[in-house]
Amino acid sequence: MRPASLLGLAALAAAAAPAARHAVAHEGHAPRPVAAAIFPIPAPGSYRLPPIKRAAGGTVLDEAGRPRDLLAPDLPAPDLPEVARGITVLALIYTRCGDVCPLASADMARLQDLAAKDPAVARRTRLVSLSFDPEHDTPEVMRSFAAAWRSADPAAPAWAFLTAPGRAELAPILAAYGQRVDAGPDGSLTHVFRAFLIDSEGRVRNIYSLDFFEPALVLADIRTLLLEGAGSGGRQGR
């Protein structure tokens, strides 16, 4: 299990660090506690998540530097299925980020821990963190970053930490997901955090800002999609 101190530092970042206060200004959100959701979490299956659009794949590199497709990071690129397998939670981040990305990674870590308690969810869910800073975030850097955040619990869902081979491969992925990234004169990257819930047919079913990237809510959304796929949550939207 990851060090508890790491999650604590992420939770305090928005309130304590000047960079995080800047994030509040440019993201328009207020710091929120880690322990509980700040809004009611609906019961899984009590609502629908209509498909928004097709999820985009693209060539990425795993922590060992091997080419993978974004929608199937556990498979070699030549062996890709037509659609993603299982449910994917995709977060777009970069490791040098000092404000929203640590908070988002802490939320992903909490989601991984929550999902580990439910084997039916864990085995059909994958978490993916994709860096949009390929010049700095090499596979080696992503491997070190993963070691800090990813749970060692064998019951936890897989969590892939990916980067792109270069800007040419990254650009169409960012465009497909509507992720704008602006580089500052000091090399920092300005962005609005986005995470995506992708179903087993490769469709985006929810898009989260940091305000709504609440692990309990994302888990309810995952369970809603699993119920839908099992025929228990109403007819599947197309």
Query: Is residue 4 predicted with pLDDT exceeding 60?
Result: no
Backbone angles phi, psi at 180, to 5 degrees: -90, 135
Distance CA 139, CA 14 (A): 28
Give the model's pLDDT for residue 31.
38
The rounded mean pLDDT for the chain is 83
Is residue 24's pLDDT more than 60?
no
With a cut of 80, say whether residue 145 has pLDDT above it: yes
pLDDT at 37: 67
Cα separation, 69 vs 79, in Å, equals 10
Say what angle helices 215-229 and 100-116 make with each other, to 10 degrees: 50
Tokens at residue 132, please? 């949009």
Q: How confident is the model at residue 72 (pLDDT cuts 50, 70, 90)?
A: confident
Q: Do the Cβ atoms of 83 and 51 come closer than 8 Å? A: no
Q: Distance (Å, rounded) from C-alpha 131 to C-alpha 138? A: 9
Express each pLDDT in 165-215 by its tens digit: 999 999 999 999 999 999 888 878 899 999 999 999 999 999 999 999 999
Which residue did the predictor score with more confidence, 50 or 18? 50
d(CA 8, CA 127): 21
Rounded CA separation 31/44 (Å)? 26
Using CB atoms within 10 A of its CB, is residue 167 exposed (0-12), middle (13-18) or buried (19+)? exposed
Higher pLDDT: 238 or 3? It is: 3
pLDDT bin (cut points 50, 70, 90) of residue 140 is: very high
**How many angstroms separate the most distant Cα atoms in the chain?**
52
